[in-house]
């Protein structure tokens, strides 16, 4: 990859505001979802008593909220750096945020006022078969809210597709296929473009599939004669959900590809190995979802075998290439380990560590015993908290840095270790409980399970406190910078990127 000139000397105020608005929304929702998660752990730990229905309402909001807000945060990173290379629409950026917030209001109304608590997976036919626990209107409002959010993300990715094809001519060229399958002339697209192309391809397909099943289920709610095959519905829901949540970290890792080279003064090259790994993952991420369905005997056996094999293979290409690439980039570079570098580097550990429980659970003999236990939440909380969210926090520190040589305070360093320790303790409480066969999605726990819940709640308080400091630090720095309208006062990261 050749060195690409950064943005023009005059920052795009609309773009800057849009990215900050995304991060502000992400921070607010993430903090709320963390508090909801803590309340659930306190209920299981028998430290508070709210009852099953409020628990499952929080579980529904927590799941839907974290998936959606991970998408918003990841999109902020991707959009911020991708606009260096292609012409993106600021209007579409804001339209997606507006649709997201509208969908959030619909979902909150459905759950908090309509008592919908069928989990974020909205598996058919549960939303329409509530046995009086919620109304048809509440279920429809929840699914319509998800549909509105999906439309916003689809618009965003279609705009990204338009911009990439307009600049590179085709997805094949944007993925670097001429250099991958032919002579590597050193002119392959930069990692940001390759990653954004992969995300756009898989998310457009995933969002269309998700919107299709949501539309069908909405029709079925009011016209029961419109029959839906339950197995097909489950497959479509899991395909959409799995693709979307995986794409969030593929967007967030763009921050690693862009920021670490600026810290080490070494380029992250789009060589053949890098291009091959992203092309392979473009295909595998769309065929891996059956590893969540290994206990479903009714699913076609070939799909379960495919999910099993690809579940193993998918941990290798991007994760190994990105992890190894980061190590080589940092090795003997003299990098200055500020909060940005620390968080981005630990995020790669979190991504790798989160993939390992999934790798183990993807083994059929293990899956039969472990999948419906807290082992699985242990996997995806590691992946999201110490992987994806650490990338977002690193990006926030980068944007909020008032100057390139600005130092971090003692509270910043303390928050880093509190977040890392709190997250590791929190996810290990899940994993160990799963090893002990503690069931997932249970509001009430047996007495012998309670110690794991109490430990998890204590670590949750620690990581939430650290996350709150990261957020306050970022927005505090931005507020200070905006008091001075001169260009010199703008945050270092906003100017440099």
Domain containing residue 99: CATH number: 1.20.210.10
Closest to 495 (Cα-Cα) out of 73, 13, 3, 2: 13
| pLDDT beneath 50: ranges in the chain | 1-11, 485-492, 494-497
Locate 28 and state its tokens. 């607010």
Instruction: Give domain status of residue 62, yes or no.
Output: yes
Question: 95 in a domain, yes or no?
Answer: yes
pLDDT at position 323, please?
A: 85
Cα-Cα-Cα-Cα dihedral sign, residues 59, 440, 351, 459: positive
Cβ neighbours of residue 307 closer than 8 Å, sequence gap 6 or more: 287, 288, 289, 290, 291, 292, 293, 294, 362
Cα–Cα distance measured from residue 209 to residue 457, given in angstroms and rounded to the nearest whole number: 36
Per-residue pLDDT at 349: 92
Which structural domain, as residue segments, surrounds residue 131? 16-496
Q: How many CB atoms lie within 10 A of CB 330?
A: 18
Residue 8 lies in a domain: no
HSE-CB for 476 with a 13 A CA cutoff? 6
> Which residues lie below 8 Å from residue 50, measured CB to CB, with a gap of 6+?
39, 43
The per-residue pLDDT for 459 is 97
pLDDT for residue 298: 86
pLDDT number for residue 12: 59
Tell me, yes or no, whether 214 lies in a domain.
yes
Q: Is residue 405 part of a domain?
A: yes
Tell me the two tokens of residue 120: 């974020």
Asked whether residue 11 is domain-assigned, the answer is no
Model pTM? 0.92
Does residue 254 contact residue 247 with C-beta atoms inside 8 Å?
Answer: no
Place of tokens 């309509």: 114
What is the number of domains present in the chain?
A: 1
């Amino acid at each position: 990859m050749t060195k690409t000139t950064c943005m023009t000397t005059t920052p795009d105020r609309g773009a800057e505001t849009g990215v900050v608005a995304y991060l502000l929304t992400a921070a607010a929702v993430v903090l709320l979802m963390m508090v909801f998660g803590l309340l659930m752990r306190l209920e299981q730990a028998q430290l508070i008593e709210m009852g099953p229905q409020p628990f499952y309402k929080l579980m529904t909001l927590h799941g839907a909220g974290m998936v959606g807000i991970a998408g918003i945060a990841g999109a902020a990173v991707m959009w911020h750096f991708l606009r260096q290379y292609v012409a993106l629409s600021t209007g579409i950026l804001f339209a997606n945020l507006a649709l997201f917030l509208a969908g959030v209001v619909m979902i909150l109304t459905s759950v908090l006022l309509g008592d919908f608590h069928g989990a974020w997976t909205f598996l058919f036919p549960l939303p329409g078969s509530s046995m009086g626990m919620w109304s048809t209107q509440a279920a429809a409002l929840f699914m319509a809210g998800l549909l509105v959010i999906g439309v916003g993300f689809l618009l965003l990715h279609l705009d990204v597709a338009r911009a990439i094809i307009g600049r590179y001519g085709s997805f094949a060229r944007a993925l670097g296929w001429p250099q991958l399958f032919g002579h590597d002339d050193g002119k392959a697209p930069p990692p940001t473009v390759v990653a954004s192309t992969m995300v756009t391809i898989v998310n457009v397909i995933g969002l269309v599939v998700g919107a299709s099943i949501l539309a069908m289920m909405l029709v079925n709610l009011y016209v029961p004669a419109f029959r839906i095959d339950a197995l097909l519905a489950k497959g479509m829901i899991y395909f959409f959900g799995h693709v979307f949540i995986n794409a969030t970290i593929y967007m967030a890792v763009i921050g690693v590809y862009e920021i670490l080279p600026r810290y080490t003064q070494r380029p992250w090259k789009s060589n053949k190995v890098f291009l091959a790994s992203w092309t392979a993952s473009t295909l595998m991420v769309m065929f891996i979802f059956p590893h969540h369905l290994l206990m479903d005997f009714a699913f076609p056996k070939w799909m379960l075998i495919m999910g099993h094999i690809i579940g193993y293979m998918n941990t290798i290409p991007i994760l190994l290439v990105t992890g190894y690439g980061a190590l080589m980039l940092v090795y003997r570079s003299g990098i200055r380990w500020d909060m940005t570098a620390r968080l981005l580097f630990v995020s790669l550990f979190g991504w790798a560590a989160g993939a390992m429980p999934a790798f183990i659970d993807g083994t059929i003999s293990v899956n039969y015993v472990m999948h419906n236990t807290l082992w699985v939440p242990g996997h995806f909380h590691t992946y999201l908290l110490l992987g994806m969210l650490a990338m977002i926090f690193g990006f926030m520190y980068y944007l909020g840095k008032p100057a390139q040589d600005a130092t971090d305070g003692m509270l910043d360093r303390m928050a880093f270790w509190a977040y890392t320790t709190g997250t590791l303790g929190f996810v290990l409480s899940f994993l160990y409980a799963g090893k002990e066969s503690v069931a997932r999605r249970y509001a009430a726990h047996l007495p012998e399970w309670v110690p794991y819940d109490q430990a998890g709640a204590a670590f949750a308080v620690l990581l939430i406190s650290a996350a709150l400091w990261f957020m306050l630090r970022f927005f505090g720095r931005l507020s200070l910078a905006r008091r001075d309208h001169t260009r010199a006062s703008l945050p270092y990261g906003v100017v440099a990127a």
